[in-house]
Amino acid sequence: MRHFCKRLLLLLITLSFGCAAWAQDPVFSQFYAAPLQVNPAFAGISFAPRITVNYRNQWPGLNNAYVTYAATYEQSLEQLNSGIGLIVMTDNAGDGIYKVNRFSAIYGYQLKFSDGLHIKFGVQAGLIQNTVDWNKLVFGDQIDPITGPTGGGNPILSQEAPPENLNKSSLDISTGLLVYGQNFYGGVAIKHLNSPDESLLGINENLNVGVPLRLTAHAGAEFTLERGNNRRAASFISPNVMFNKQGEFWQVNAGAYAGLDQIYLGLWYRHANSNPDAAIGLIGYRKGVLRIGYSYDFTISQLADASPGGTHEISLTLNLADSRQLQRARRASRYNNCFKMFN
């Protein structure tokens, strides 16, 4: 019985600190700056190689509750009607107590039905590695009733025995579909098709510990305000919506993104389950191949009363398609791209 209680205790701790991995994947507020996280069919939507780095710090007032880092590389293989991508992402929960690392590769294939309609299919395969830092856990036998876990100056050692494995790697498979034309796009993606098992405890008999399927549906349109030239980038506005559902959790993001020469702005509203969640504001700058953006999630749910802070996000993108040489090559090619928002 005591052995079972130990395992149950560790499971509850793991789930409480690692719910972003077990119950819900990290979802970037700047989803346009992390398109491969949204749908693998986005692989290769840029004319030339693109590198993106994302950073997200959710509720920093709760001692770094959830911090997420991601880096992606993608490029188009135009002659093969294809695109490829690579993703490395780390989700750090509970100030390092629980970490989830994801490594994956993506392949996308495009079908052209007419001058104004394209369909892309994407497949994604990789590894999920989750780890627990046992030394950062605090158990009941480490807490002194007067001095707390320090024991009056020296840490109190726990008698709890760690499990055999403090990390685990699992295969993860996802797929997606994207439809787009000159002024619109829409798609659907299904992540974790094989429901990879992240359990560190090996008690699968009576508990479903597989990562739940994540369904994403998204759509948007683009309206040109001013055409670009050699001196000015194009100005446009893009209303968009994204729906995510994973397990019992779902959320909807709706709003608009605007590119105004070198400045871009955005405003979204996020609704989660039956509760209003956050208002998201964005400001960014683009110059040549460089784009950098900052967004802040203003918490408007009841959680705001607990003062956890909002959510900070930073994205940095290097898109070689925006270089002058490749811009000329793109105009001379048959490449059709309505994704100004994602580039």
Could you tell me what percent of the chain has a pLDDT over 90?
A: 43
In-domain check, residue 343: no
Instruction: Identify the CATH number of the domain in which residue 314 sits.
Output: 2.40.160.40
pLDDT at 108: 95
Q: Provide the residue range defining the domain that includes 13.
A: 2-332
Could you tell me what percent of the chain has a pLDDT over 70?
A: 76
Structural domain count, the chain: 1
Q: pLDDT band at residue 7, thresholds of 50, 70 and 90?
A: very low
More confident call, 152 vs 302: 302
Q: pLDDT band at residue 87, thresholds of 50, 70 and 90?
A: very high
In-domain check, residue 341: no
In-domain check, residue 340: no
In-domain check, residue 304: yes
* DSSP notation for 34-99: -HHHH-GGGTT-SSS-EEEEEEEEE-GGGTS-EEEEEEEEEEEEGGGTEEEEEEEEEEEETTTTEE
In-domain check, residue 316: yes
pLDDT at 91 over 50: yes
In-domain check, residue 241: yes
In-domain check, residue 194: yes
What is the three-class DSSP state of 138? coil
In-domain check, residue 339: no
pTM of the model: 0.81
DSSP code, position 158: P
Region of poorest pLDDT, from 3-12, 134-143, 242-251, 279-288: 3-12
